[in-house]
Structure 1
Amino acid sequence: MSELPLVSAIVTTHNRADLLPRALDSVAVQSYENIELVVVDDGSDDPFRSIVAKYEDILPVRYLRNEQAHGACRARNQGIEAASGIFVAGLDDDDAWTEDRIEKLVKAYDDDFAFVTSDVQMMYEKGAPVWGKPKVISLEKLLYSNYVGNQGLIKKERLLKVGGFDESLDAAQDYDLWIRLCERFGPIKNVQQPLQKVYLDHDGERITNPKDQLRGYLAFYQKHKKKMNRSQRKYQLYNIRKATGKVSGLSELLGWVPPHRWWKEIKSWILKTFMSK
């Protein structure tokens, strides 16, 4: 075990006592043998210490609690700061890892890449399609869209060097961090296997306030737009318009979206339409 680098699994949580055990179970059963669990309880109405304590016989556990909620970014940064591992791997409290996720990500890790991530299985009530990502996610791709999603396996020292999550943003905090890591350390490597399950079949309370998401995305866009070419800016603005319900139909898609993204947008619309019915 001592020859394996320590990985800190960081789970941030807020008022999800019914969902949290699924996430923690998926950490506890990892095939990788050198993991610590860091749970940041961001001001839940009832402390989750008793839930987390059940895992102390399985792996090293740290439980941090904020008496008042500080939001997703601060909670994640607290977890990173408290982590003892060389690597940090985040996990949302409503999602889960496959048993071999950390083993495969550590095996695939390469310092020539900013970090490593994987494909994702999207868990809808009516199906579980796989979100397949490119094998290499370049900065050029990333400035069009968040190809990474919300998690990866990253060296703690690299996260600290770029300043962690931007606590001034109300949305797109993970996307913003991926761009900064990619700028500093190179492209992102993707393991083309679904090693994480993202659950979209519940209405649980989230750390981020949905009312702030649009404002946060606009702030993200303003922060990074100088790095974007005209095509990337148009696509980012299209996504902002789509989020506010201002996209009226196919003509806007053809006018705002670059041709290489048309099929992606059509597939996304089909998936959301049929999985949500």
Structure 2
Amino acid sequence: MDNTPLVSVYISTHNRSQLLLRALNSVFNQSYKNIEIIVGDDGSTDNTFNEIKPYIDSNRIRYVKNKTPKGACSVRNLAINIAEGEYITGLDDDDEFLPTRIEELVTHFTGSGYSCVTASICERTPAGDISRNFDAGEVSLDNLLHYDVLGNQVLTRTSYLKAIGGFDETMPAFQDYDTWVRLVDKFGNGFKLKNCSYILYSNHGGERISENNTKRIAGYKIFMDKHHNKMNKRHLDSMKLLELRLTNSPYSLLSFIKLTHRGNVFSSLAYFINTNLFWLKNIFYRVRTK
């Protein structure tokens, strides 16, 4: 008999059957075996169902579907509502887990007292893999209100996710960030492991919500309406920086000095360099030629 906690893994999908199969295989191949997989199909019209039917018939996965597309958060919530695991985590259909991800998350979460645990991501690009692990450690609400430290997926108690109402289906973007803020606000600090165990694919020919600026700006506005009352001046400065980035606005030296602080120094410096690269190159050239 398996005495390890059952972990529910929800995967939302829409018309990406081949990518979904890759994501599923990464869960099937986990070193941690006590897993329940729930695929939430957001009204797919391709061959998604036929591709995964053998897994449904053999009870390797559970399957829920919206008849018409309502957004990823809708099918995530359908999956969360039927989840039987003590713990729960998610996977986007265009990404994949490394083999020890769930084992590592469960090990660090069990008995920790944290509201959730996640790990750093590895972004897979045409130029190679990029590890995003500079912000590992304990994550408080104060940290989280500067930017989404936790990223797009965490492991938490299923009861916690249900208690906060799951994902906000009215938001066109920022749904993950909003959910983690509500989770940490209600149940306490989270933790982010330094090692990378989640592969995020940034170039597969399809659209990620995180790349659609119209949706991101609309989501940002809803996020601010919901959470601005939790923020101090420094948090608001970080949100102003985020707004500038979302709208691809200029970032002057004066704005850089005004908005930069310990909570956002890396993102602020990166955006300043990116938006002023030509100007900085000119200064460097003039200094060298004097």
Aligned partner of 1:275 in structure 2 is none
Uncovered stretches (5+) of structure 2, i.e. residues with no partner: 276-290
- Secondary structure of 1:18's counterpart equals helix
- State TM-score, norm by structure 1: 0.90
Q: CA deviation at 1:34?
A: 0.6
Q: CA deviation at 1:252?
A: 2.8
Aligned partner of 1:104 in structure 2 is 104
* Contact 2:65/2:75 (<8 A) preserved: no
Aligned partner of 2:147 among 109, 120, 145: 145
Q: CA deviation at 1:267?
A: 4.4
What amino acid sits opposite 2:23 in the alignment?
Answer: A
Aligned partner of 1:221 in structure 2 is 224
- Secondary structure of 1:140's counterpart equals helix
- Cα distance in 2 between the residues matched to 1:271 and 1:121: 22
Uncovered stretches (5+) of structure 1, i.e. residues with no partner: 273-277
- Secondary structure of 1:23's counterpart equals helix
Aligned partner of 2:237 among 207, 211, 234: 234
* Contact 1:23/1:91 (<8 A) preserved: yes
Q: CA deviation at 1:202?
A: 2.2
- State TM-score, norm by structure 2: 0.86
* Contact 1:13/1:93 (<8 A) preserved: yes
- Cα distance in 1 between the residues matched to 2:272 and 2:129: 16
- Map 1:17-36; keep pairs closer than 5 Å: 17-36=17-36
Q: CA deviation at 1:119?
A: 1.1
* Contact 2:38/2:79 (<8 A) preserved: yes
* Contact 2:116/2:155 (<8 A) preserved: yes
- Secondary structure of 1:183's counterpart equals helix
| CA pair 101-153 structure 1, distance change in 2 beyond 3 A | same
- Secondary structure of 1:170's counterpart equals coil
- Cα distance in 1 between the residues matched to 2:247 and 2:267: 19
| CA pair 52-40 structure 1, distance change in 2 beyond 3 A | same
- Cα distance in 1 between the residues matched to 2:239 and 2:54: 44
What amino acid sits opposite 1:118 in the alignment?
Answer: A
- Cα distance in 2 between the residues matched to 1:207 and 1:16: 14
- Cα distance in 2 between the residues matched to 1:161 and 1:46: 34
Structure showing greater radius of gyration is 2
Aligned partner of 1:166 among 153, 165, 168: 168
Aligned partner of 1:89 in structure 2 is 89
Deviates more, 1:263-272 or 1:111-120: 263-272
- Cα distance in 2 between the residues matched to 1:271 and 1:248: 9
* Contact 2:17/2:47 (<8 A) preserved: no
Number of matched pairs: 272
Q: CA deviation at 1:79?
A: 1.1
Establish whether residue 130 from structure 1 lines up as the match of residue 131 from structure 2.
yes
- Cα distance in 2 between the residues matched to 1:219 and 1:104: 34
What amino acid sits opposite 2:245 in the alignment?
Answer: K
* Contact 1:8/1:38 (<8 A) preserved: yes
Aligned partner of 2:255 in structure 1 is 252
- Cα distance in 2 between the residues matched to 1:57 and 1:173: 32
Q: CA deviation at 1:182?
A: 0.6
Aligned partner of 2:215 among 207, 212, 215: 212
- Cα distance in 2 between the residues matched to 1:178 and 1:155: 13
| CA pair 263-115 structure 1, distance change in 2 beyond 3 A | closer
- The one of the two structures with greater contact order (alpha-carbon pairs below 8 A, sep at least 6) is 1
Give deviations 1:55-104, integer Å, cap 9, x for gaps.
35886311112121011211111111121111111000011001011111
CA RMSD of superposed structures (Å): 2.3
Deviates more, 1:186-195 or 1:42-51: 42-51
* Contact 1:14/1:207 (<8 A) preserved: no
